Amino acid sequence: MPVSTGIGFLSKIVSKATGRLNESLGILKDKMLAARVIDISLNSNSTLWEQTGEWQGIGSIQFQLIDGPTNEDTISSSKLNLAKPLFPHLKNYPLVNEVVLIFKLPTNESIANMDGATAYYYITPMSLWNHPEQNAYPNPLKGDTSDSNKSDYEQIEAGNTRKVNDESSEISLNGASGGTFTENGNIHPIIAFAGDNIVEGRYGNSIRFGNTSKIEAEITNNWSEVGDPGSPITILRNGQDPEIEPPGWIPTVEDINKDLASIYLTSTQKIPIETSAYNTSAFSDPPEAPEAYIKNQVILNSGRLLFNTNEDSIIISSQKNVSINADKEIGISGEDNVTILSSKINLGDLDAEQSLVLGDDFMTQFEILLQNLKSLATVLQGSQIWPGGAPAPDPSIPPVASTVQTQIQKIQNVVQKGSLLSKVSKTI
């Protein structure tokens, strides 16, 4: 085959393939569109409430296509451009002015009636700024952005990778239906290490399905000092370090000592947690320090921890020790009973040697002693001396004996009432 013939044959094949590709892309273009969110239905106060099916339409958006700039009249005419969330189990709703991908797919009516009816569905916001807080792309003809914000969006359209202005935006992010979202401007995204899966909210909250990752980089983590690479770690964080420095587009990493609230599930990692109080003097075999432990554990850290049950029990069980420490006070109370069960109970010190007195048994013997002393005092009141061979009362003894007898009676009254015995604390 001549070369020219072969080239011509290949050209025909390429031309046919290109045509088929363009045809497929054309079909795909009709099915998948980029759109700007104009409004969203989140509750019964929404302006889209009735149009989107009331409670069945929660998460539905009104949108305009991003084919070109549009004015207010165009937006007003797009009232019928409605789309539902594509995934019913994933509620990652967009903000107003964020960009989503729209899909044209069958409706439940088309399935029932076999009439080919279609509706619009959308998936999560596009990562315009590659930032978890907001990724808005406002309509340039509406004029609701400040000069600094306009500079941001002009730069992003030109291919810039981040916001030029690190302040919060002044564009509408809540729409006609209202809303409460306010851009912070200093929310830092969580940096990922190789193999990590991360879910981030818009408010400095995140879940990391990560691992021990020892790297040399500008931003590293503080849990990979020891352990094998690839050892799993799961970190749930609610609220970043409130004193973190701007700019907000610079990534950060979790810090158990600075983040507002954290749960760490570890395997071989050493977590450098700073405990508020840790005293091991009560243990003959103390547990390893929290910041030194390198085996699997669960760590909870926050400004306050509350464990509560409204039906059954809280059970704390340990293979070795249970350590409870506080900088101030430890209070234990029980509506019915507080029972401490052990072969030996030390109060005050691990080396305590003095035994507690059994109160009931002691008071029984004390009562017997008091009765005998009372009898002795009675006898002493009649004590006599024999001056010159004739009996006569001893004037020095009766007053003392009478006083002792009175005091003994008072102590007996107290003992008999049980006032010296605790009504709360018992021992065996």
What global pTM score does this model have? 0.79
Query: What's the pLDDT score for residue 143?
Result: 56
Which of the listed ranges 9-13, 331-335, 415-419 does the model predict with the highest average pLDDT? 331-335
Per-residue pLDDT reduced to its tens digit, 98-138 = 999 999 888 776 555 555 678 899 998 999 888 999 999 88
Q: CB of 186 within 8 A of CB of 219?
A: no
Query: What's the pLDDT score for residue 177?
Result: 82
What proportion of the chain, given as a percentage, has pLDDT over 70? Answer: 78
Question: To the nearest 10°, the Cα dihedral for 141, 174, 127, 57?
Answer: -110
Look at residue 149 and tell me whether its pLDDT is greater than 70.
no
Look at residue 273 and tell me whether its pLDDT is greater than 90.
yes
Query: What's the pLDDT score for residue 198?
Result: 97
Per-residue pLDDT reduced to its tens digit, 50-89 = 999 999 999 999 999 987 555 555 545 445 699 999 998 9
Q: Render 271-290 in DSSP notation, one character per residue.
A: -----S----TT-SSPPPPG
Look at residue 206 and tell me whether its pLDDT is greater than 60.
yes
Look at residue 383 and tell me whether its pLDDT is greater than 90.
no
**Residue 161 pLDDT grade (very low, low, confident, very high; cuts 50, 70, 90):** very low
Look at residue 251 and tell me whether its pLDDT is greater than 60.
yes
Q: CB of 55 within 8 A of CB of 32?
A: no
Query: What's the pLDDT score for residue 107?
Result: 79
Per-residue pLDDT reduced to its tens digit, 16-44 = 666 665 565 555 566 788 999 999 999 99
Query: What's the pLDDT score for residue 56?
Result: 92
Look at residue 193 and tell me whether its pLDDT is greater than 70.
yes
* Spatial separation of the C-alpha atoms in residues 237 and 223, rounded to whole Å: 15
Per-residue pLDDT reduced to its tens digit, 325-336 = 999 999 999 999
- Residue 190: DSSP 8-state: B
Each domain of the chain, given as residue ranges in start order, spans 21-185, 193-344, 359-417
Query: What's the pLDDT score for residue 12?
Result: 65
| Type of residue found at 236 | L
